[in-house]
Chains A and B, each alone.
Chain A
Amino acid sequence: MRPIRRRRIILIGLILAAVAAATSAMVYGLSRNMSYLFTPSQVLAGKAGDFRSFRLGGMVAPGSIWRDPHSLLVKFMVTDGDHTMPVRYTGILPDLFRANQAVIATGHMHGGVFVASEVLAKHDATYMPRELQQAMAQAHAKYHVVLPGAENAP
């Protein structure tokens, strides 16, 4: 009986220690690495103020895409219908990046301009990020949001 009890105590101790260490590491990791999604209106309302880095979602405003002729720098405006926000990005844009399409950019604010380190566009012709769809529906109902096919609507 004794070795079994000893083994149990060791096992339980190991499990508790592992769970405690892992839980604290996870909570810390989560608190440090959550990235929130905001629309331009929400950013201008100051909701993103506390976050060093966040994701900006909206539609690419028509006629707003400007490319630097000598580098990969590109500037465009993201809109949610009510407000717009300038974005600058250096790099290759996704295949489906174009005016009037939904995008999600990850980055930070720098003097009124959103500096993106990553830009994602919708995946295919019928797909729009669900979270973005909801955010935009909340932000503005008038704006023409290209919803996925009727069958796919939630």
Chain B
Amino acid sequence: MPELGQMALILALLLAVVQAAFPLLGAWRGSAALMRMARPAAAGQFVFLLLAYAVLTHAFLVNDFSVRYVAENSNLTLPWYYRFSAVWGAHAGSLLLWVLILNFWTLAVAVFSRRLPEVFVARVLGVMGMVSVGFLTFSVFTSNPFIRVLPAPANGMDLNPVLQDPGLVMHPPMLYMGYVGFSVAFAFAIAALLGGAFDNNWVRWARPWTNAAFGFLTAGIVLGSWWSYAELGWGGWWFWDPVENASFMPWLVGAALIHAQAVTEKRGGLRAWTLLLSIFAFSLSLLGTFLVRSGLLTSVHAFASDPRRGLFILMLLGLAVGASLLLYALRAPKVAGGKPFALASRETLVVVGNLMLVVAAAMVMIGTLYPIVGDALHLGRVSIGPPYFGPLFIAMMAPVVVLLPFGPFARWGRADPREWKRVGLIAAPAAVVGGSLFAWAASGGMPPWQAWLGGLSSAWVVAGVVLYVRKRWISVPAGRRYPAEMAGMLLGHLGVGIFLAGALLTNALSVETDVRLAPGQTASIGAYTFRFEGVDDVRGPNWIAHQGTVVVTQNGQQVAVLHPQKREYSGDVVQTEAAVSAGLFRDLYVALGESLGGHGAWALRLYDKPFVRWVWLGGLFMALGGFVTLLDRRFRVRAPAGETPPAAVADALPPPRPREAGA
């Protein structure tokens, strides 16, 4: 069986070479026959990769330990659902998933691009084929998941217990959907640069793909954050860990890109910038993959590393980034253009937001790469932590938050500053009063400054969204008030408001204590009393655990009974399972530390975390915003039936409706 997967993988690689070479050649030579090879090659490649992936999944499900990858990452006692997700639990399989998702996007592009000029589609699919060639070569030659180990061991080692969690079943696929989704915008940019001409309809075509990728990436990051909160037992939701930063850099640039694309589509401006951001977003996705997979970083993501692998991805990264930036330097001056805009205009606001997001991404990149580069150059082994990232990030995002409510009110080309003034005069008092009341209620008294800032900034952003919703309600007839594109924008901005409240309130108001408790003893944090009832032994499918029982009361009323665990998996691996009583307004969180000997005393970590759910809720709103824009009719206009020459297809698209344009 595994040999079948191996065969399928090699055939997929060959088809990827076909998909990369012939359509690009055809587009260059003007050969329609060669260009038409793009779609069948993409479809064939997808089928074979799906087959390879299915074979590997099958090997996991039937416990075929003769496959080395399965033997290293699975076990007879592992529940079937974790055997299913264990496929992407380590390097080789997660790489296969990466390529499979790339092929899924490629296939979707092949299917939904029928109204685009053939030569453009050939270039887009050719570029995606090149990316696929790179990663499939990587997979086949350095990270083959189908290698046998003979004789087969009777039982496998185990999946890393840290990864045995529902949050992790979904986190990598979502994240990869985002990372790889940016390859569409990247391929589009390269195709436009190769062609040397620029057509705004292509941007309109590329936008939903970017928005979807952004939505997936956001959801993936939210899942990762939630997982580390629940699973690592530290109770935080973001640590500025290098692997988190690896996914956050493309997110920041992606956020800039979806706004820049809107400008380019609607006004033709910022073309070169949009192309550059498209290249950056995908390059940072590649960089993220490189950082996480090369073994340079020390974290749960850095699987057993092989220096050849790191070198291979680094070469791939250098080749992709270098070649695309070279192409950009040669061709970008040709594509410049667009309508002029005044200083007070929506374009200017987008440019400012874009700059801040890109600078923040650069800041994160420098902080993440400095320790690696410094180590390589023997400048000493340093680590850079939250004290660097946190304050700088807040400082860089502050202007974005201040300007955010004005964005939707600004017209393209030339905005009316009087309208901004009106908005500011309503939103500012509303934010001060509403935000202060909110922070006051959340803190149960005089709020600390960070909580106050959280309430204020959140109320400011939400007030801007509400005012704009009201304006559309009043000034636009029913049915046309909130096109999907605008609804997505409003949801995303609302998500920013919710996130701000969550992030700042939870940072300001969380109470975290480590205590030593014997059975029957209590500890109080805030209004809550935690009573430790002792520890029992429990047994799961593939672990045994010490399970504590903690009863939480408030004013004598029982609020929650929590069961934190300390699990021991095979191979002497210990894993802390925190117990969380989740609520919209607060989480109560207990993690079991260690046994302190005599009288059954244990070390316990007790957290009261108000509003922590809002962090993820805000992220989910942003993701939802990205997905909702896909429903916009403007993005799905189809060519009239029958044989239509490409030029006429472009003309058949209705012009953008400036008055209803969302950002």
The CA of A123 and the CA of B352, in the complex, are separated in Å by 42
Q: B355 near A: Cβ within 8 Å?
A: yes
Interface residues of A in 32-69 (CB under 8 A from B): 32-37, 55, 67, 69
Contacting pair B603 A72 (CB below 8 A): yes
Contacting pair A30 B366 (CB below 8 A): yes
Known contacts A129-B298, A131-B381; is-contact A67 B392 (Cβ 8 Å):
no
Tell me the interface secondary structure of chain B in the complex. mixed
The CA of A46 and the CA of B363, in the complex, are separated in Å by 32
Contacting pair B387 A33 (CB below 8 A): yes
Contacting residues, chain A, for B359 (C-beta < 8 A)? 18-19, 22
Q: Which residue of A lies closest to B576 (CB)?
A: A95
Partner of A130, one of B298, B300, B342, B387: B298
| Number of B residues, CB within 8 Å of A | 57
CB proximity of A14 to chain B, nearest CB, Å = 6
The CA of A151 and the CA of B375, in the complex, are separated in Å by 23
Q: A149 near B: Cβ within 8 Å?
A: yes
Q: Which residue of A lies closest to B340 (CB)?
A: A3
Contacting pair A55 B383 (CB below 8 A): yes
Q: Which residue of B lies closest to A37 (CB)?
A: B381
Known contacts A22-B396, A71-B516, A123-B300; is-contact A37 B571 (Cβ 8 Å):
no
Contacting residues, chain A, for B566 (C-beta < 8 A)? 95
Contacting pair B574 A32 (CB below 8 A): no
Contacting residues, chain B, for A19 (C-beta < 8 A)? 359
CB proximity of B245 to chain A, nearest CB, Å = 14
Q: B151 near A: Cβ within 8 Å?
A: no
Partner of A92, one of B160, B381, B574, B605: B605
Contacting pair B395 A125 (CB below 8 A): no
Contacting residues, chain A, for B594 (C-beta < 8 A)? 92-93
Q: A154 near B: Cβ within 8 Å?
A: yes
Known contacts A69-B598, A95-B575; is-contact A22 B362 (Cβ 8 Å):
yes
Contacting pair B355 A70 (CB below 8 A): no
Contacting pair B383 A154 (CB below 8 A): no
CB proximity of A90 to chain B, nearest CB, Å = 8
Q: A141 near B: Cβ within 8 Å?
A: no
Q: B643 near A: Cβ within 8 Å?
A: no
Interface residues of A in 5-35 (CB under 8 A from B): 7, 10-11, 14-15, 18-19, 22, 25-26, 29-30, 32-35
Contacting residues, chain A, for B524 (C-beta < 8 A)? none
Q: Which residue of B lies closest to A95 (CB)?
A: B574
Contacting pair B355 A15 (CB below 8 A): yes
Contacting pair B381 A135 (CB below 8 A): yes
The CA of A67 and the CA of B598, in the complex, are separated in Å by 12
The CA of A130 and the CA of B304, in the complex, are separated in Å by 12
CB proximity of B469 to chain A, nearest CB, Å = 30
Contacting pair B307 A34 (CB below 8 A): no
Contacting pair A26 B363 (CB below 8 A): yes
Contacting residues, chain B, for A35 (C-beta < 8 A)? 382-385
Interface string of B604-636 (1 = CB under 8 A from A): 010000000000000000000000000000000
Contacting residues, chain B, for A14 (C-beta < 8 A)? 351-352, 355
Known contacts A18-B359, A19-B359, A33-B387; is-contact A70 B340 (Cβ 8 Å):
no
Contacting residues, chain A, for B370 (C-beta < 8 A)? 30, 34
The CA of A138 and the CA of B370, in the complex, are separated in Å by 22
The CA of A22 and the CA of B591, in the complex, are separated in Å by 39
Contacting pair A152 B384 (CB below 8 A): no
Q: B391 near A: Cβ within 8 Å?
A: yes
Partner of A18, one of B355, B387, B596, B603: B355
Known contacts A10-B343, A152-B305; is-contact A25 B366 (Cβ 8 Å):
no
CB proximity of A95 to chain B, nearest CB, Å = 4
Known contacts A14-B355, A32-B388; is-contact A126 B363 (Cβ 8 Å):
no
Contacting pair A131 B603 (CB below 8 A): no
Give 29 CB contacts A-B under 8 Å.
A3-B340, A14-B351, A14-B355, A19-B359, A25-B392, A26-B366, A26-B392, A29-B388, A30-B367, A33-B384, A33-B385, A34-B382, A67-B597, A69-B596, A70-B516, A72-B514, A72-B593, A72-B603, A90-B514, A92-B593, A123-B162, A125-B573, A127-B298, A130-B298, A131-B375, A148-B304, A151-B304, A152-B305, A154-B305
Told that A3-B342, A29-B391 touch, could you supply 20 new A-B pairs with CB distance under 8 A?
Answer: A10-B348, A18-B355, A18-B356, A25-B392, A26-B367, A29-B367, A30-B366, A32-B387, A34-B383, A36-B382, A37-B382, A71-B516, A72-B514, A92-B591, A92-B593, A93-B593, A124-B573, A126-B304, A130-B295, A134-B381
The 3 closest A-B pairs by CB, nearest first: A92-B593, A33-B388, A3-B340
